[in-house]
Structure 1
């Protein structure tokens, strides 16, 4: 973070002392982190409820305006998505997309966090954009909004730069905890993805925030896991053989997603409004025939879990959601890729289960490969296998699948690593930094041209 009194970057220095003052500092910051977690949880709950209402309105439009009035949903979707693109570009460009690369960047660079604009634009833009059908998730916005809450409370408490960093991390982790009802995964996300260090003080602060955020979430939505799967009996060890193959398959799918997402950013960066119009029209057309593909895909998740989709339809849905997620992200609207990539993993797991069933009919339950697909896809794309494993276990409560899940996750992790592919959030952060450098260079060039003329 930046020490504004000295105008220089201050590295993070954990409290290592054993004296009374150090212990007092730890206790105080743990209490502050708990407050940050509670408020981050409230923001996450409000965001989730807002998305639920927005998706209900989308369904109302699609169900009540058909035939000659079918242009109404298309017009509404186009106008809303274009509005979301505009408010992001106008008021808070850093609120674009997932927001996790922005959090990682400011923690590494010590840059200023414009918390209030980000919080407002992320909330409004996320509800409107995802509600209009963008194939994005709520977890990225809740992570960034949680970080914004941590930054605001850091200013309120007037803490030092090192403590500010910790509160921002705690807020981000509590956002993930509340989004997925997964407090331990929120803690690991802070340590594995944001802090990149393990010390007692960081663990206590992050734990305080993720626990209080999860309590707030459970008070409103209950303690049930996000995905309620059919009961799975303890799998046989022979499942590991299929896990070896499936891990490689998921790894290549994750590698393809990362490559296409990064390359598409260069193509659509200057055409976001045109892309917004195109997607608004496409979403209205899709909504007439298969509305489950739109938005976060909750209905599609339920149909996959229930085994209601045929093999061909699963394949079509996989490629459709694959393309929709990449195109939706390229609009720059607020929205994460955690939930979309989990849905892709679930679809790929269901497809692979059909293939396994051809060789060993009735041997393995569908839910097994849904869990393995989600964990493998997370590990391949995000490249945080420990967070991914714990996240999937907390979201499904299928702890008997720990060993198969570890096997698939490490193989899915290895494939893009051997291809020298960077983790998606690191790559997106580098792309954002390059964009800023190019923008500054263009401004300097135009200034020099004007001075010469």
Structure 2
């Protein structure tokens, strides 16, 4: 807990430095605190160039951050979150400390010189690197190391966006993928500590200033539901387009990697010259769109422009996040959708800004498939609780639709393209590539659901597993029963305790015989007792038993044959 507070303080301080660097470099390259607030204007430092300075700004920025990333920390390139997810899943939470410094400078230079990316990816990687470094200095266990990495990510998000709850759920939903009391407590401490530092530096205000929205007609829920489904298609499309542009840049570029951001910056400069609203993160443009400041046609142009500018920034080797661009894209689509809905149903559609706000969360959920984070972060970024119900509806539908359209998210797709499976074994691991069916044990005798509780307790104690499969009267598999559940039932008042063990059946974690062992280990580690039943994929019936001992025997067998 003490280390979590220290990591939170470090992440909070890092976010202050990071935002100061962004503002400083933005002023140096554009002459404005945020060029997107006054797009098309000239740079007062070089007034003779007029708006044409945006052609040179990305080139100069690329000449600075390109060699920096190439020489000191190649993992600082791109949007950062996938690298943190990989470090937690397969590298024991180990992240080089130099990543924090390089990522701060490279991302600030990218955004300050016109790169159309966000701040969340860099600050997650910066905070995570701080957590990993502290974990190595204090020689904590691997599990605690991963937790400190998550604390760094939570603290970075919390301080940067004044969103302490969103920081916690971002870390647990995307970085660790686990929800338990220890992880929640540690990330909350880090998030609160970082938020206190962030609020002292930036003030305690909502990140986006939006008008009040209300849902005044039931028909609007149908419109929001449809918005969530279409937004998921856009979110998945953004993910695919992002990596398609990156592939195109990889195919076209034949020079040294350190020079790639500068030469590619010319293309980005042309996009900025045609659409200066794409300069940097673009929150002023987003706020104006939610306030109804743009026509439908221009909103769609901004949507397409953001997809292109963000993809190009990442493709040429820039450093920055994709969370803010997904919010931007969602706001443009939502506002355009809201205007269309208002024209069709002027008396019932409601304000355009409500659709823009819901579109922000739905597109992010479609791209990242993190519904809890999407709901919480949109609420905290805007302070708009009045629209929480349609927001939840659209985000859940967007998440479900995204899952139907694509197995991967905008974060995992980057790793999958490199041949990395977060659920699989790390390269060179002694365990994981075997199929479960090759290492499983014989299935323990299942308990009939009609067994009395005292008899079930005797059978569980004799089994040595602490958990047994259960079948109904017809012999069909219905789940498992644990020794803990039986003991708790026997400890209840006689009139409250069930007569038969069938009432205590629980669904087991799904482990199938043809599944890689590395994937099954996640279910094994989280299961009650000493093992889990292995099911036949075709019929869903148990065919074996996977225990911790059988997994360890697989390691021993691999070592003996290596």
Shift of 1:241: 0.9
User: Which residue number corresponds to residue 21 of structure 2?
Assistant: 50
Q: Gapped runs of 5+ residues in structure 1?
A: 1-29, 441-453
After TM superposition, list the pairs within 5 Å mapping 1:344-383 onto structure 2: 344-361=329-346, 363=348, 364-383=350-369
User: Which residue number corresponds to residue 393 of structure 1?
Assistant: 379
User: Which residue number corresponds to residue 100 of structure 1?
Assistant: 81
User: Which residue number corresponds to residue 427 of structure 1?
Assistant: 413
Shift of 1:71: 6.4
Would you say the 8 A contact 1:255–1:415 is kept in 2?
Answer: no
TM-score by length of 1: 0.84
Shift of 1:419: 2.0
Deviates more, 1:285-294 or 1:229-238: 285-294
User: Which residue number corresponds to residue 68 of structure 2?
Assistant: 87
Output the CA distance in 1 between the equivalents of 2:31 and 2:112. 12
Deviates more, 1:392-401 or 1:64-73: 64-73
Shift of 1:159: 1.8
User: Which residue number corresponds to residue 105 of structure 2?
Assistant: 124
CA change 1:334–1:360 in 2 (3 A) is: same
Shift of 1:114: 4.2
Q: Gapped runs of 5+ residues in structure 2?
A: 33-41, 422-426, 428-562
User: Which residue number corresponds to residue 5 of structure 1?
Assistant: none
1:399 aligns to what SS in structure 2? coil
Indicate the RMSD between aligned Cα atoms, in angstroms: 2.3
Q: How many residues align?
A: 407
Q: Highest CA radius of gyration, 1 or 2?
A: 2
After TM superposition, list the pairs within 5 Å mapping 1:181-196 onto structure 2: 181-196=162-177
Output the CA distance in 2 between the equivalents of 1:108 and 1:212. 26
After TM superposition, list the pairs within 5 Å mapping 1:52-451 onto structure 2: 52-60=23-31, 62-64=42-44, 65=46, 74-110=55-91, 113-269=94-250, 271=253, 276-277=261-262, 279-285=264-270, 287=272, 290-361=275-346, 363=348, 364-433=350-419
Would you say the 8 A contact 1:131–1:295 is kept in 2?
Answer: yes
Q: Deviations over 1:307-362 (max 9, x none)?
A: 22122211111111111111111123220001111011111111111101111226
Q: Deviations over 1:366-394 (max 9, x none)?
A: 22112101110111000011111111011
Deviates more, 1:355-364 or 1:168-177: 355-364
Q: Deviations over 1:285-320 (max 9, x none)?
A: 555565332110122123213322122211111111
CA change 1:70–1:107 in 2 (3 A) is: same
Output the CA distance in 2 between the equivalents of 1:362 and 1:347. 22
User: Which residue number corresponds to residue 436 of structure 2?
Assistant: none
User: Which residue number corresponds to residue 17 of structure 1?
Assistant: none
Shift of 1:395: 0.7
TM-score by length of 2: 0.68
Output the CA distance in 1 between the equivalents of 2:106 and 2:262. 16
CA change 1:69–1:176 in 2 (3 A) is: closer
Shift of 1:407: 1.3
Q: Deviations over 1:99-158 (max 9, x none)?
A: 111111111112573432211110110111111111101110000100011012112323
Would you say the 8 A contact 2:52–2:273 is kept in 1?
Answer: no
Output the CA distance in 2 between the equivalents of 1:235 and 1:390. 23
Deviates more, 1:366-375 or 1:228-237: 228-237
Would you say the 8 A contact 1:268–1:275 is kept in 2?
Answer: no
Would you say the 8 A contact 1:240–1:404 is kept in 2?
Answer: yes
Would you say the 8 A contact 2:61–2:262 is kept in 1?
Answer: no
Shift of 1:415: 2.2
Would you say the 8 A contact 1:33–1:170 is kept in 2?
Answer: yes
Task: Give 1 or 2: higher helix fraction.
Answer: 1
